[in-house]
Structure 1
């Protein structure tokens, strides 16, 4: 499985828990800052893996590729995770629609983003060097919603710090990894709900 680096760890944990004969090959999570490169990198790695595996699956949603990843999947006969982005997989698309209907200015965090916020957001946007740009970047946001897969005290503190660093209040929504597990089970052709024998 070619997985987005931002979800590779939970994907590997689910694969191990379910005992699936799947190897996880992550791509760099910072590709999300250049989504136009995701499809090309997936194509490249899929080509490299084709000689070693009878089947390759794609552990990405569309992730801002605007259909380019789907085109690669069609051309190579591959399947990917459902949805527009990993937030759909963790929380469910309809649940996210509700969040955005309630507050259109909702900024989403996953566990990965909470842990890596200083690097993947603040540093990548230059806010570590030009903090005065914060209000320009985040002026239209009104809250941060953390889609918490494995919440604990340390991770909650990191999520709170991430929200505070962009001047927004934090809402915690515990999602677990059940949505991701169901999507992966469908992707690898394993029947049964999470926790059930496949």
Structure 2
């Protein structure tokens, strides 16, 4: 997987760590949310929060997420008063939530980040069973996280197998970036899907993090 640049930081398979020295709470997060979490922290001046990200590529094998989260919790727990897991269920079938309960740490609510960006209740009420979702991160990393892992660069005939039951691609946009919107539209065309742009901002991410007090 290629490195992902977040402003002047690099997110690699080794993850990303950032935060003020006085931080009391560690946000243990999916690397796909790093840019958004850093933006929310900076916008609110939250010096009590530090961030450690696990590789976003774990989403391609979600069965590995609970073990990776547990290992990170055990590693970092001695250094913080609290750890908050910024993952939703993310395809773990409830295993991540159970693991967090066993470890005594809290986590984001919802089935996946698409839901909490859109608003969990709103997302579930839409019942968009034939929609394929991309966040800003996934638009930027479309080839690395969608096209190549599915083998579509080598076996384009698989496109119908993977996406034949989808009708549209929905870009859940965290930022107002016309170039990114255009790239999302191109992604939809590559998949043979209709395109919808939905400006969500950071959704429920900001209020969830705001509940973590210094």
Could you state the TM-score of these two structures normalised by the residue count of structure 1?
Answer: 0.90
Shift of 1:104: 2.5
Alignment length (residue pairs): 187
Is the 8 Å Cα contact of residues 118 and 203 (structure 2) preserved in structure 1?
no
Aligned pairs (5 A) from 1:90-101: 90-100=117-127
Could you state the TM-score of these two structures normalised by the residue count of structure 2?
Answer: 0.83
1:136 aligns with 2:161: yes
- Cα distance in 2, alignment partners of residues 98 and 107 from structure 1: 16
1:22 aligns with 2:71: no
Higher strand share: 2
- Cα distance in 1, alignment partners of residues 160 and 203 from structure 2: 35
Q: What does residue 6 of structure 1 align with?
A: 32
- Cα distance in 2, alignment partners of residues 69 and 185 from structure 1: 22
Q: What does residue 107 of structure 2 align with?
A: 80
Higher helix share: 1
1:36 aligns with 2:63: yes
Aligned pairs (5 A) from 1:60-71: 60-71=87-98
- Cα distance in 1, alignment partners of residues 84 and 196 from structure 2: 33
- Cα distance in 2, alignment partners of residues 137 and 189 from structure 1: 43
Aligned pairs (5 A) from 1:105-124: 105-124=130-149
- Cα distance in 2, alignment partners of residues 183 and 57 from structure 1: 10
- In structure 2, stretches of 5+ residues that fail to align are 1-26
- Cα distance in 2, alignment partners of residues 118 and 165 from structure 1: 11
- In structure 1, stretches of 5+ residues that fail to align are 191-198
Query: Which of residues 172, 188, 198 in structure 2 aligns to 1:147?
Result: 172
Any runs of at least 4 consecutive aligned residues in structure 1 with deviations exceeding 2 A, and if so which?
97-100
